[in-house]
């Protein structure tokens, strides 16, 4: 093994107790056995720089050491996949435009721990990081989305939960709006399991021609190529961030953890993006192959080692050439800090002057942020070693594959005891008892005002949803957002994000299945065809067998749903093309979050002008139900407002889901539906009420509904969250719609009609159940979320 010119840490000679104390003192989270494994791997004691490097690379966040073997069960290949989850982003086919194959670039990440500690900066840098992941594939960045989970806003920690929610939303808006990327989709859930661990997941979309992909590894024949870093000067912010993201959060150590959170600069990012597009253009013009990578977890060390290792090269780095903003930084801090707004390029020497000129002169980065620039810091080597120099001395010299290969554990699994039961609730009173607390009218309004159901427009309006001018359907106006793929094309890209934590608490497998199915239903509800999935797997402590069992069950659920709902017209799985694992979402007191496999579905429309929203379009049209109502209220909002959880989470019949999704899409493509809404949180009642109100809550057309089709008790019919759709159609199209559904071996059920009377009227034959004016629906639905976070 290579030698270094600095002191070595005598791991071999230390007693375990002394070694443990040394690791703690130096903020190194490696276990004693992992520290000793480094000695075995490199054949000598490590330097302190090498020890910090392995600490980051062997963290759960970077190495996927617990999850890697479980993730192998996910389906990642289908005929529409251009690039699977092996680089910074996945790429799925959009279609052919003017003879060129275009791809949708997708990345899905989390920034959970940082957002719990410093919510504004944590959320903002989460957005910044995901944008870099997509940009570095050579793509034009076109949209982001943000699935969020916060603590109980009415619980014992309500002040902290509300503070974090507001700061996270402001952080996302403050960064995304300034950088100029529209926010297309997202969802928000509150419950007590997130009191100590909020979840801030982020999705980003980009677009490119297949032939223009830039890979996250050095190109062929790259020996001697320059290694160039671009962006903010390196400081100590975010040092140890990857390791921090792989630890249990300790409230008492909150102040000490603040240094592991990066500092955002969206204005610099805006210029960096535009400058990088210019580099793409010049490289294309000169037919230059480059390597390009986001500098995120592990900073310079991670990006440079992976760019070279993945192409079977080594790297030599000179830290004295790194532009910094602080004096006397230690070598491992320069190497591993996670200063934001930085990238790494691998460039042939003949193109390096052009690349430096674009960033340093044409776009003058230093005028945007002090000392920001592009700098050559090293070169690609044929010998596959990772060598780092500082002040003329070698501080790191190890085989590069030892740096990048990581480690792996086969964690124990143990099925936890889950003894949930169905509650025996009395049925609410009918509409005549409006003033009674337990009337159907009062229950309906309470469900609509629940923060997990209520309109999130107060959140969405913080975000710029129309910057760039390509947004077709904004978040909140339909079950999925929709954006025009590119000017002068009818292609649209739909995006939805989904996961219900209460379903996952009851049954982690079913919760994951439901998340996949709902995300696909949501893009289908606007008329888009599900094309790919991404996942962000947020779970507890993998060292606890019960919690790791939940993780494995969640992955199995995603696998089964993706493989059995199929890509349209095939028997191929809907591929999982990108994702992230976030573990150790557990407080120091041992409280873990509800299992949360957050799924994003990317849908494609060949003609975005055919897209529809949830809002009822006119009076005297017909409303239909697709999807049977079942006694499946486990995890429902109805049970939650009654302080119950239940047992019967919705079951998914894969064949039925597949058929219902593609029947709805075909109807929309043929112009047969006026509006459509997926049934999920709050059940049938919520779906109809939200269709009446529309995304802006300005709807004036009511509905008259008859539940005579159901054999269930009326509250179960209305509030069951069994999957399905409600859609609006003109009477003249009824026959055609039924014919489409019949082709898929399905029947639809007549619910009633839309009405100009300004009310939501629900009955079962002659029995009136709900009788609410639209203004009451509006008041409940629009007040629930603002009240929860004020």
DSSP class per residue in 636-689: -HHHHHTT---S-PPP--HHHHHHHHHHHHHHHHTT--SEEEEE-TTHHHHHHH
Check if the beta carbon of residue 716 is closer than 8 Å to that of residue 626. Answer: no
Closest CA to 511 of 419, 634, 413: 634
Q: Catalytic pick from 52, 69, 108, 111? A: 111
52 is catalytic: no
Give the whole-angstrom CA distance, residue 640 versus residue 681: 11
Cα dihedral sign for 492, 185, 106, 529?
A: negative
Give the whole-angstrom CA distance, residue 730 versus residue 58: 59
Give the whole-angstrom CA distance, residue 727 versus residue 752: 11
Give the whole-angstrom CA distance, residue 27 versus residue 243: 9
Check if the beta carbon of residue 340 is closer than 8 Å to that of residue 237. Answer: yes
Check if the beta carbon of residue 754 is closer than 8 Å to that of residue 701. Answer: yes
Check if the beta carbon of residue 200 is closer than 8 Å to that of residue 123. Answer: yes
Joined tokens for residue 349: 């020497």
Give the whole-angstrom CA distance, residue 790 versus residue 775: 22
Nearest 5°: the CA angle 344, 350, 353 is 65
61 is catalytic: yes
Quickly tell me which residue has 């859609």 as its tokens: 727
The DSSP code for 426 is P
| Residue 10 C-beta-side C-alpha neighbours within 13 Å | 4
Q: What are phi and psi of 479, to 5 degrees?
A: -75, -15
Q: Catalytic pick from 52, 61, 215, 390? A: 61
Check if the beta carbon of residue 203 is closer than 8 Å to that of residue 130. Answer: yes
Give, in order, the Cα–Cα distances in Å from 362 to each of 275, 281, 354: 8, 14, 10
Closest CA to 598 of 547, 676, 537: 537
Joined tokens for residue 270: 């805006």
Joined tokens for residue 733: 């199209």
DSSP class per residue in 346-401: EE-TTTHHHHHHIIIIIS-GGGTSTT-EEEEEEEEESS-EEEEEETTEEEEEEEHH
Joined tokens for residue 387: 């060598």
The residues, ordered by sequence, that sit 6+ positions from 104 with a Cβ below 8 Å of its Cβ are: 91, 92, 93, 94, 205, 206, 207, 485, 493, 531, 532, 602, 604
Check if the beta carbon of residue 704 is closer than 8 Å to that of residue 761. Answer: yes
With b for 16 or more beta-carbon neighbours within 10 A and e for fewer, the 510-533 pattern comes to: bbbbbbbbbbbbbbbbbbbbbbbb
Closest CA to 632 of 647, 654, 650, 644: 650
SS3 49: helix
Give the whole-angstrom CA distance, residue 590 versus residue 503: 21
DSSP class per residue in 582-602: E---BBTTS-BPPPEEEEEEE
**Max CA separation in the chain (angstroms):** 89
SS3 610: helix
Check if the beta carbon of residue 746 is closer than 8 Å to that of residue 628. Answer: no
Residues with a catalytic annotation lie at: 61, 111
């Amino acid at each position: 093994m290579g030698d270094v010119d600095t002191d070595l840490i005598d791991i071999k000679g230390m007693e375990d107790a002394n070694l443990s104390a040394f690791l703690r003192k130096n903020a190194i989270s490696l276990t004693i056995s992992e520290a000793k494994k480094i000695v075995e791997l490199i054949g000598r004691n490590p330097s302190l720089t090498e020890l910090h490097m392995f600490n980051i690379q062997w963290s759960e966040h970077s190495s996927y050491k617990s999850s890697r073997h479980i993730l192998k069960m996910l389906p990642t290949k289908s005929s529409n996949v251009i690039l699977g989850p092996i680089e910074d982003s996945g790429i799925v086919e959009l279609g052919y435009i003017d003879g060129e194959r275009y791809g949708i670039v997708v990345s899905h990440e989390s920034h959970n721990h940082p957002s719990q500690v410093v919510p504004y900066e944590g959320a903002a840098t989460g957005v910044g990081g995901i944008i870099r992941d997509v940009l570095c594939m050579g793509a034009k960045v076109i949209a982001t989305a943000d699935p969020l989970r916060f603590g109980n806003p009415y619980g014992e920690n309500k002040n902290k939960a509300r503070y974090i929610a507001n700061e996270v939303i402001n952080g996302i808006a403050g960064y995304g709006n300034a950088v100029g990327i529209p926010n297309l989709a997202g969802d928000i859930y509150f419950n007590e399991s997130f009191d100590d661990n909020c979840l801030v997941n982020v999705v980003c979309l980009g677009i490119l021609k297949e032939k223009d992909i830039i890979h996250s590894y050095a190109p062929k024949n790259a020996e001697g190529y320059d290694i160039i870093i671009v962006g903010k000067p390196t400081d100590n912010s975010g040092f140890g961030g990857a390791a921090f993201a792989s630890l249990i959060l300790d409230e008492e150590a909150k102040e000490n953890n603040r240094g592991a959170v990066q500092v955002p600069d969206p204005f610099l990012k805006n210029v960096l993006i535009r400058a990088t597009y210019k580099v793409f253009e010049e490289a294309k013009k000169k037919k230059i192959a480059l390597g390009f990578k986001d500098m995120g977890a592990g900073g310079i060390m991670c990006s440079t080692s992976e760019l070279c290792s993945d192409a079977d090269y080594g790297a030599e780095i000179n830290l004295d050439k790194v532009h910094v903003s602080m004096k006397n930084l230690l070598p491992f801090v320069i190497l591993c800090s996670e200063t934001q707004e930085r990238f790494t390029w691998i460039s042939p020497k003949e193109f390096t002057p052009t690349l430096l000129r674009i960033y340093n002169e044409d776009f003058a980065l230093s005028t945007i942020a002090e000392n920001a620039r592009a700098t050559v810091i090293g070169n690609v080597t044929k010998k596959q070693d990772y060598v780092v120099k500082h002040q003329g001395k070698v501080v790191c010299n190890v085989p590069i594959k030892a740096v990048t290969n990581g480690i792996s554990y086969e964690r124990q699994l143990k099925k936890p005891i889950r003894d949930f039961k169905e509650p025996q609730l009395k049925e609410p009173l009918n509409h005549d008892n409006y003033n009674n607390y337990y009337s159907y009218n009062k229950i309906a309004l309470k469900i609509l005002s629940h923060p997990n159901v209520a309109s999130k427009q107060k959140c969405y309006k913080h975000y710029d949803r129309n910057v760039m001018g390509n947004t077709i359907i904004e978040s909140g106006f339909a079950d999925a957002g929709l954006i025009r793929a590119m000017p002068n094309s009818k292609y649209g890209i739909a995006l939805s994000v989904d996961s219900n934590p209460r379903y996952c608490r009851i049954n982690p497998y079913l919760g994951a299945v439901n998340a996949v199915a709902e995300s696909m239903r949501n893009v289908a509800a606007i008329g888009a065809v599900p094309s790919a999935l991404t996942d962000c797997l947020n779970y507890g402590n993998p060292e606890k067998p019960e919690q790791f069992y939940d993780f494995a069950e969640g992955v199995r659920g995603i696998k089964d749903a993706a493989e059995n709902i199929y890509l349209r017209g095939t028997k191929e799985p809907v591929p999982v093309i990108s994702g992230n694992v976030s573990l150790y979402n557990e407080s120091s007191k041992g409280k873990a979050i509800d299992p949360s496999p957050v799924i994003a579905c990317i849908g494609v429309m060949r003609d975005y002008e055919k897209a529809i929203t949830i809002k009822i379009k006119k009076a005297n049209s017909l409303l239909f139900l697709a999807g049977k109502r079942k006694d499946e209220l486990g995890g429902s909002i109805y049970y939650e407002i009654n302080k119950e959880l239940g047992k019967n989470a919705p079951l998914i019949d894969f064949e039925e889901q597949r058929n219902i999704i593609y029947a709805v899409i075909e109807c929309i493509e043929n112009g047969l539906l006026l509006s459509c809404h997926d049934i999920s949180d709050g059940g049938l009642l919520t779906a109809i009420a939200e269709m009446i109100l529309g995304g802006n809550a300005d709807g004036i057309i009511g509905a008259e509904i008859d539940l005579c089709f159901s054999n269930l008790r009326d509250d179960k019919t209305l509030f069951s969250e069994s999957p399905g759709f409600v859609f609006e159609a003109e009477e003249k199209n009824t026959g055609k719609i039924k014919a489409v559904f019949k082709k898929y071996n399905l029947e639809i059920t007549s619910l009633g009609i839309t009405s100009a009377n300004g009310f939501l009227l629900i009955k079962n034959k002659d029995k009136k159940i709900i009788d609410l004016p639209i203004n009451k629906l509006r008041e409940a639905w629009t007040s629930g979320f603002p009240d929860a976070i004020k």
